[in-house]
C-alpha cells in the first residue's frame, strides 16, 4: 500500500510524499506519531524521510520504506520536478528550494527530529539541511554522493547522454533493455539499472517517456556540480553513515575523507553495487543501514 500525503514546498510548489507499508490501525498504541500534527498514524515510531536522487522518484524507496516501517515511520518524498510532484520552471530548481522543501515535508508530516536517508542529489540535500537545522535531524545516511566539485564540463556529458536516449520507447521492456544493457554508460548488463529507469517512465500517446523534463534535470544538476560541499558536511552534527557502492560514483578515498570530516561519521561499502546501491544489492543495503539506525540515540 502507498498512501499519498500532499506537501506545500518552497514557493508554494506542490509536492507528493508517500508512505509505503500499512500504518498502524486506529486503536494501536499511541496516536501522536513521531511528534506532530501531520502524523496521525505514526504511533510513536521515529521518523525517517527518504530523498531520491536526480531523475529518481519516491517509489524507488518502496522496498527500503517497507522494511523500515516495522520500526519507523518512513516517508519518501517526490522532490520538485520529479515523480508526482509539481514541475515548476527551471529557475525554481535551486539548492535553497530543495533544502526548504525538506523542512516543509518534515513539518507537514510531523517527522522531526528525523533520520534523513538520501541517495545522490537527495543525499546532498539531506546533509545541507542537517547542517542548517541540527535540531530537526537525529541521524543521516549518505548514499553514493560526492562532496567534491564535479566540474561544469560534466554537464555537457549529461546533455549528450540525454540526447542519446531513444525516446519514445515502444515498451517498458525496451526501457529495461536500453538502460540495463544498451546504454553506452553501462559497462556490463545490469537488470537492476533497467528496472530503476523503467520506474521513471510513463506511457504517452507515442510510447514511453520520462516523467521528468531532462532540461530541468540539467538545470537542477548545475546548481551543485561546480561547487564543493565539504564545509557543509563538516557542519553536520548528528551520526552520519556514508555508504558507497564498490563500483559507484563515490570513490573509496573520498568516502573515507568524508567520514573523517564528519564529526560523527561512519563508513560502509557495498560490494557488487554501482551508484544505485539500494537497487543493485537491496539485502546488503539493509544489512549496513539497519544496524546504524538501531544504534541511534532516541529522540
pLDDT digits (tens, 9 = 90+) for 118-159: 999 999 999 999 999 999 999 999 999 999 999 989 999 999
Q: What is the pLDDT along the chain (299 residues), one digit of tens a residue?
A: 789 999 999 999 999 999 997 655 544 333 233 444 444 455 689 999 999 999 999 999 999 999 999 999 999 999 999 999 999 998 999 999 999 999 999 999 999 999 999 999 999 999 999 999 999 999 999 999 999 999 989 999 999 999 999 999 999 999 999 999 999 999 999 999 999 999 999 999 999 999 999 999 999 999 999 999 999 999 999 999 999 999 999 999 999 999 999 999 999 999 999 999 999 999 999 999 999 999 999 87
Q: Which residues 6+ apart lie within 8 Å of 260 measured at CB? A: none
State the Cα angle at 100 between 95 and 103, rounded to 5°. Answer: 140
Residue range 2-148+228-294 forms a domain whose CATH class is alpha beta
pLDDT at residue 42, rounded to an integer: 59
pLDDT at residue 257, rounded to an integer: 98
DSSP state of 160: H
Pairing of strands 114-119, 47-51: parallel
CA distance 109 to 129: 16
pLDDT, tens digit, 9 for 90 and up, residues 4-13:
999 999 999 9
pTM score, whole prediction: 0.94
Sequence ranges of the domains in the chain? 2-148+228-294, 153-213
State the Cα angle at 157 between 98 and 78, rounded to 5°. Answer: 25
Beta bridge partners of 16: 6, 78
pLDDT at residue 41, rounded to an integer: 56
pLDDT at residue 32, rounded to an integer: 30
Amino acid at each position: 500500500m502507498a498512501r499519498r500525503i500532499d506537501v506545500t514546498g518552497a514557493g508554494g510548489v506542490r509536492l507528493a510524499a508517500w508512505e509505503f507499508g500499512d500504518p498502524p490501525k486506529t486503536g494501536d498504541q499511541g496516536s501522536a506519531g513521531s511528534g506532530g500534527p501531520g502524523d496521525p498514524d505514526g504511533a510513536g515510531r521515529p521518523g525517517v524521510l527518504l530523498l531520491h536522487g536526480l531523475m529518481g522518484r519516491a517509489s524507488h524507496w518502496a522496498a527500503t520504506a517497507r522494511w523500515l516501517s516495522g520500526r519507523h515511520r518512513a516517508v519518501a518524498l517526490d522532490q520538485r520536478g520529479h515523480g508526482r510532484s509539481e514541475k515548476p520552471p527551471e529557475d525554481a530548481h535551486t539548492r535553497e528550494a530543495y533544502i526548504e522543501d525538506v523542512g516543509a515535508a518534515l513539518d507537514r508530516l510531523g517527522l522531526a527530529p528525523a533520520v534523513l536517508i538520501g541517495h545522490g542529489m537527495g543525499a546532498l540535500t539531506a546533509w545541507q539541511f542537517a547542517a542548517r537545522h541540527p535540531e530537526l535531524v537525529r541521524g543521516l545516511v549518505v548514499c553514493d554522493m560526492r562532496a567534491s566539485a564535479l566540474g561544469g564540463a560534466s554537464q555537457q556529458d549529461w546533455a549528450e547522454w540525454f540526447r542519446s536516449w531513444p525516446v519514445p520507447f515502444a515498451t517498458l521492456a525496451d526501457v529495461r533493455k536500453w538502460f540495463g544493457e544498451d546504454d553506452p554508460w553501462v559497462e556490463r548488463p545490469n537488470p537492476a539499472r533497467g528496472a530503476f529507469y523503467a520506474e521513471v517512465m510513463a506511457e504517452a500517446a507515442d510510447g514511453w517517456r520520462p516523467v521528468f523534463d531532462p532540461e530541468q534535470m540539467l538545470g537542477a544538476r548545475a546548481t551543485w556540480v561546480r561547487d564543493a560541499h565539504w564545509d557543509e558536511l563538516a557542519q553536520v552534527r548528528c551520526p552520519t553513515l556514508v555508504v558507497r557502492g564498490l563500483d559507484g560514483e563515490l570513490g573509496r578515498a573520498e568516502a573515507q575523507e568524508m567520514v573523517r570530516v564528519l564529526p560523527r561519521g561512519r563508513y560502509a561499502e557495498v560490494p557488487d553495487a554501482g551508484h544505485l546501491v539500494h537497487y543493485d544489492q537491496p539485502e546488503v543495503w539493509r544489512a549496513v543501514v539497519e544496524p546504524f539506525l538501531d544504534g541511534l540515540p532516541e529522540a
